[in-house]
Structure 1
């Protein structure tokens, strides 16, 4: 892979804000969700805040532009003494899919969890998200759990 097509994964930075917001809007749109600007500001600030370890994010960059993001939440779990990581949002721009960015973002979350002694990494997706599930089936174990919410 030459430098022009190289995908670089790094922790989110202040400089990523506008491109992250653009990609996160697309991600939420995929799930038919719209949020106001205050939530984008709030979430980005938490992802960036070193004094708020309960959330973290990585981004994928190619040719100087963000092409992907992963936003995670760290929380306690009743079945483990260590905390776990909920990989809440994973998005790769349509133009960049199939080139390894999604896999590399997930692997970065795994590495983060391992470095910090986390017990587990998990996430959910819609049963109709077949494209993403092709990747997920390669990098994780599918469970039999179904999500319910109020």
Structure 2
């Protein structure tokens, strides 16, 4: 039986686990090696999650104390709605966690 999975807002203490998943996500989109994102982009992305003036947010999936997934999302205006719309920007799961339902 699989252990319970918890989805929660990202915390500063998640930085090292997030960086591993973030690198995997970017590698999937061929943003590694010579095409890697500049370190400044990764740093700015991380800082935005904790800046109340920024509409960018992050959640992590945690199982047995380990961060095993991430998602980044933001709210923006829309031409088809009055209220802001949620846009899912990034979604990534550790490879060993895939295919378990």
TM-score by length of 1: 0.60
Shift of 1:51: 3.3
1-structure distance, mates of 2:23, 2:37: 8
Larger % of helix: which?
A: 1
Which SS does the other structure have where 1:15 is aligned?
helix
1:19 paired residue number: 17
> Segments of 4+ in structure 1 off by > 4 A?
none
SS of the equivalent of 1:88 reads: strand
User: Unpaired runs of 5+ in structure 1?
Assistant: 101-150
Q: Structure 1 pair 83/23, CA: closer, same or farther in 2 (3 Å)?
A: same
TM-score (norm 2): 0.87
Report the RMSD for the aligned CA atoms in angstroms.
Answer: 1.5
Q: Alpha-carbon deviation of 1:75?
A: 0.7
SS of equivalent to 1:51:
coil
Aligned match of 2:85 = 84
- Could you tell me which runs of 5 or more consecutive residues in structure 2 were left unpaired when the two chains were aligned: none
Deviation string, structure 1 residues 94-123 (Cα, Å, up to 9, x no partner): 1001234xxxxxxxxxxxxxxxxxxxxxxx
Residue 25 of structure 1: how far off its partner (Å): 1.1
Q: Which has the higher contact order (CA 8 A, sep 6+)?
A: 2
Paired residue total? 97
Instruction: Find the aligned partners of 1:99 and 1:48 in 2 and give their Cα distance.
Output: 31
Q: CA deviation at 1:49?
A: 2.1
CA deviation digits over 1:23-76, x for unaligned, max 9? Answer: 011001101112122111110111122332x11110001122110000012111
Q: What is residue 61 of structure 1 aligned with on the other side?
A: 62
